[in-house]
Amino acid sequence: MGNCCGGSGACATERVFAALDSFRIEVPSWGFANTGTRFGKFSQAGAATTIEEKFADAGEINRLTGASPTVALHVLWDLPNGKGDVAEIKQMEKKYGVKSGSINPNLFQAQEYKYGSICNPSAEIRGNALAHLLDSVEIGQELGSKDVSLWIADGSNYPGTQSISKRISWMQEVLSATHAALGVNQRMLVEYKPFEPAFYHTDIADWGMALELARGAGPKAKVLVDTGHHLLGTNIEQIVAWLLNLNQLGGFHFNDRKYSDDDLTIGSIDPYQVFRIFHEILSSSSPAVQGIAYMIDQSHNLKGKMEAMVQSVVTAQELFAKAALVDREKLAELQQSCNLVEAEELFRGAFWTDVRPMLKAWRETHKLPLEPLAELKASGYVEKISNERGAKNAKSVTSYA
């Protein structure tokens, strides 16, 4: 591709630098804590056990990458006392140099949600779920967080056991009430998932349902795309293009999967897919582009949590940089003339470009570690937190057998 490319004559390095300067990707607090599968929980000595430890880890990721100044919070896990924990969170922000990001309510853990939360046949339980959503909105307002991110685990496992149509109406009511409580600068992001934990029908099963619910709730509601929440073979970048065209794309949860929502590090299975998604975004003139919240949603059981998070952020930077290299003016000409081979080769050429030297140069100009993963290892941070937290984590192992 050479050092300079593009119909405008813009230097490739300049284009990559501009892209990286604008790119921010949020890390999740739960990505630093011990997690497991439905069969058991696996402990790592260095896993975070408190909200302060999560902020410390997030601050270290931002120091290493320069791209993650916010950390997503899970209300019940990170703020068990609700608004009573806000003052402590603000102290953590100052101490570790990262801000609170998206606020994630928990509508799937309480025993009363066995048959659903905002879609539960019980009006009382739906009311409890709405109260939690309203508390989450208020927490976001007090922390200055822009997004309240909703994943609704509701659904049913067997045909005939629930009224799908009634549950739609109940859901619409609760989401509209939540939207009405949003502050001036707040948004509500509606996520979707085709299955799990519900296996017959999931109440928000695809982007069309999420889109309709967001539109019905109000103008501050947008759709959130989780790259792991799709059936195999789904053309996710086409969904992204449609949501951009409709000005309804609010954000992403990035992870990767081989089968279904496997929470693998971004790009570990299909980096070309993420590149294609970023290309659609960088090609779009939609006003939604400026408001996209890029977020990581991963929870690692086998890889070290700090190492996996650095890998994810750096990979996202690399793939965003690759997408910035596409000569869109030339590509548009080739597309218009249906010159298929040349168009694909131009597109693939950007993907196969090794952008790591450009990223290293960008990091040098921003006084960041040139090799974030190597710097993490050399810093001794993982050994330090493993020594400090090891005893606590050894006691936290549980089994569901």
Measured CA to CA in angstroms, residue 33 lies from 38, 50, 79, 268, 341 at distances of 16, 9, 14, 21, 47
Q: Please give the sequence-ordered ranges of beta strands (E in DSSP) within 185-231, or none if there are none.
A: 187-191, 201-202, 221-226
Among 145, 157, 154, 158, residue whose Cα is nearest residue 174: 154
Q: Is the dihedral of CA 102, 104, 289, 27 positive or negative?
A: positive
Average pLDDT over residues 169-186: 98
Q: What is the pLDDT of residues 109-137, one digit of tens each?
A: 999 999 999 999 999 999 999 999 999 99
Rg over alpha carbons for the chain, rounded to the nearest Å, is: 21
Q: Is the dihedral of CA 201, 203, 208, 210 positive or negative?
A: negative
Rounded to an integer, what is the distance from CA 195 to the centroid of its chain?
Answer: 18
Please calculate the CA angle 133-100-131 and round it to the nearest 5 degrees.
Answer: 10
Average pLDDT over residues 222-227: 98
Q: What is the pLDDT of residues 280-294, one digit of tens each?
A: 999 999 999 999 999
CB 317 within 8 Å of CB 359:
yes
Give the whole-angstrom CA distance, residue 323 versus residue 282.
7
Please give the domain boundaries of the chain with CATH numbers for all domains. Answer: 12-394 (3.20.20.150)
pLDDT at 39: 75
Establish whether the linkage from the previous residue to 197 is cis, with ω within 30° of 0: yes
Give the whole-angstrom CA distance, residue 23 versus residue 30.
22
Helices (H) and strands (E) in the chain, counts: 15, 12
Measured CA to CA in angstroms, residue 257 lies from 232, 263, 268, 369 at distances of 9, 6, 8, 29
Q: What is the pLDDT of residues 344-364, one digit of tens each?
A: 999 999 999 999 999 999 999
367: left (phi over 0), alpha (psi -120 to 50) or beta: left
260 — pLDDT class (breaks 50, 70, 90): confident
Other beta carbons less than 10 A from residue 72's beta carbon:
25
Q: What is the pLDDT of residues 299-314, one digit of tens each?
A: 888 999 999 999 999 9
Other beta carbons less than 10 A from residue 368's beta carbon:
18
- Does the pLDDT of residue 400 top 50, yes or no? no
pLDDT at 6: 44
Enumerate the β-bridge partners of residue 224: 191, 251
Q: What is the pLDDT of residues 145-159, one digit of tens each?
A: 999 999 999 999 999
Compute the mean pLDDT over every residue in the chain, rounded to the nearest whole number. 94
Other beta carbons less than 10 A from residue 79's beta carbon:
22
Enumerate the β-bridge partners of residue 156: 201
401 — pLDDT class (breaks 50, 70, 90): very low
Rounded to an integer, what is the distance from CA 184 to the centroid of its chain?
Answer: 23
- Does the pLDDT of residue 315 top 90, yes or no? yes
Give the pair of three-digit tokens for residue 393. 């984590």
pTM: 0.95
pLDDT at 3: 44
pLDDT exceeding 90 applies to what percent of the chain?
91
Rounded to an integer, what is the distance from CA 62 to the centroid of its chain?
Answer: 16
pLDDT at 11: 84
Give the whole-angstrom CA distance, residue 41 versus residue 398.
6
